[in-house]
């Protein structure tokens, strides 16, 4: 995939409860041969709840609204994951869909759009936004929520400025860069003020709730003809999984590396491998490869039915 990047970070203390991580990519540029357009996704189980992040770059230009929807549907159809919990993107408990979705503002001419922006009459523009209007007719968009667009359109700017396009092309300002979310089963049970059909709080009957704290653009960034957007969400859900697959136990304080002995206990459903290893990390590590040292968690055939296993390690530090 070229031109679309998705990075997912997690607090290290959540790592034992992030499982089933899988990624998918779909190229839609040049009939599927070029990755300048398309979608990349990352899915995982978080404390037993399935979550999928989907980053898309959809076709440009005012007249291509239907093509954008076709590409989005193609991405959803092509991206399939292994396992039974959630094989497709929309099968997940929570989906975050974002990126340069490239939807434009219909019907209004450039002067009218700029006048509305200057007078902070953004609701008038929101009502003519292609993505918002498509929600009334496109089945695939059912359940997708978005906070109110209280910031000016994020495209198109003269690079290095906060001035809308003055080139010969004179692109009409638009909210091309978006962040939406979707819960698998139900419609939102709470709405943000003036949010219309889209709420900032939504939830499932299972107790899962998504709260959007803010949704904003960053006008100070001028390296592109787009302005980036960001949002912060809180996910609340009951624990379905509250025990890690592997528990490490250190009974005594180590006074030297020679004393590095620990015991680990694997959950009954954890599939052991001869490639399993235990790493020693400094507090605050950023990546699983940031280990100071590691030792193979070897397992002899006679140990298969043991609950706890002891490992003695010598680390070269």
Q: How do beta strands 49-57 and 34-46 pair?
A: antiparallel
Please tell me whether residues 124 and 217 are part of one structural domain.
yes
Does 224 lie in the same domain as 291? no
> What is the per-residue pLDDT for 183?
95
- Are residues 165 and 284 located together in one domain of the fold? no
Domain end, chosen from 236, 255, 276, is at 236
Task: Report yes or no: 173 and 152 within 8 Å, Cβ to Cβ.
Answer: yes
List Cα–Cα distances, 196 to 58, 94, 126, 211, 246, in angstroms: 25, 21, 10, 16, 46
Q: How many CA atoms lie within 13 A of 266 on its CB side?
A: 18
Residues 38-59, mean pLDDT to the nearest whole number? 96
User: Average per-residue pLDDT in the chain?
Assistant: 87
Residue 169 lies in a domain: yes
**For 285-295, what is the mean pLDDT?**
87
pTM confidence score: 0.86
pLDDT band for position 138 (cuts 50, 70, 90): very high
- The sign of the dihedral angle between the CA atoms of 12, 14, 15, 16 is positive
In a domain, 317, yes or no: no
Per-residue pLDDT at 45: 94
Select from 121, 247, 230 the least CA-distant residue to 178: 230
Q: Which domain holds residue 301?
A: 246-312
Average pLDDT over residues 271-288: 86
Residue ending a domain, choose from 188, 215, 236: 236
**Residues 178 and 306 placed together within one structural domain of the fold:** no
What CATH number does residue 54 fall under? 3.60.10.10
**18-28: pLDDT as tens digits:** 999 999 999 99
Q: For residue range 220-247, what is the model confidence (pLDDT) as tens digits?
A: 999 999 999 999 999 998 888 888 888 8
- Residue 151 in any domain: the answer is yes
Q: How confident is the model at residue 192 (pLDDT cuts 50, 70, 90)?
A: very low
53 lies in the same domain as 175: yes
Q: Do the domain assignments include residue 6? A: no
The answer on pLDDT for 152 being more than 90 is: yes
| Structure confidence at residue 164 (pLDDT) | 98
Domain count, the chain: 2
Of the pLDDT bands very low, low, confident and very high (cuts 50, 70, 90), residue 301 is low
Mean pLDDT, residues 250-265 taken together: 75
From 103-112, 116-125, 292-301, the region with the lowest mean pLDDT? 292-301
Q: Is the pLDDT assigned to residue 189 strictly greater than 60?
A: no
**With pLDDT > 90 as the criterion, what percentage of the chain qualifies?**
60
The residue among 291 and 32 whose pLDDT is bigger is 291
* Mean pLDDT computed over 91-108: 97
Instruction: Give yes or no: residues 133 and 66 share one domain.
Output: yes
Asked, for residue 5, whether it belongs to a domain, the answer is no
Any domain includes 196: yes
Residue 23 to residue 40: CA distance in whole angstroms = 7
Weakest mean pLDDT among 12-16, 127-131, 137-141, 199-203: 199-203
Instruction: Please check whether residue 1 lies inside any domain of the structure.
Output: no
Same domain, residue pair 117 and 262: no
Q: Same structural domain for residues 227 and 283?
A: no
């Amino acid at each position: 995939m070229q031109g679309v990047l998705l990075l997912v970070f997690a607090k290290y203390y959540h790592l034992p409860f992030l499982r089933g991580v899988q990624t998918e990519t779909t190229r839609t540029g040049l009939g599927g041969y070029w990755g300048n357009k398309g979608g990349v996704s990352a899915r995982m189980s978080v404390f037993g709840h399935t979550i999928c992040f989907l980053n898309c770059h959809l076709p440009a230009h005012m007249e291509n609204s239907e093509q954008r929807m076709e590409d989005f549907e193609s991405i959803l159809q092509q991206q399939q994951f292994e396992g039974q919990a959630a094989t497709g993107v929309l099968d997940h408990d929570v989906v975050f869909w974002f990126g340069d979705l490239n939807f434009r503002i219909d019907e209004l001419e450039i002067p009218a759009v700029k006048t509305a922006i200057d007078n902070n009459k953004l609701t008038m523009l929101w009502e003519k936004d292609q993505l918002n209007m498509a929600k009334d007719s496109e089945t695939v968009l059912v359940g997708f929520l978005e906070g109110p667009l209280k910031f000016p359109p994020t495209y198109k700017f003269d690079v290095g400025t906060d001035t809308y396009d003055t080139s010969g092309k004179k692109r009409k300002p638009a909210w091309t860069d978006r962040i939406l979310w979707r819960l698998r089963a139900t419609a939102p049970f709470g709405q943000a003020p003036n949010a219309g059909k889209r709420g900032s709080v939504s939830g499932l009957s299972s107790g899962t709730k998504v709260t959007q704290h803010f949704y904003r653009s960053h006008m100070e960034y001028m390296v592109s003809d787009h302005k980036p957007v960001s949002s912060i969400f809180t996910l609340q859900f009951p624990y379905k999984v509250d025990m890690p697959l592997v528990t490490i136990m250190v009974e005594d304080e180590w006074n030297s590396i020679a004393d590095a002995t620990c015991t680990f206990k694997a959950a009954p459903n954890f599939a052991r491998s001869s490639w399993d290893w235990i790493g020693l990390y400094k507090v605050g590590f950023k990546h699983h490869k940031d280990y100071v040292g590691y030792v193979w968690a070897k397992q002899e055939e006679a140990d298969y039915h043991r609950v706890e296993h002891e490992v003695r390690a010598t680390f070269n530090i």
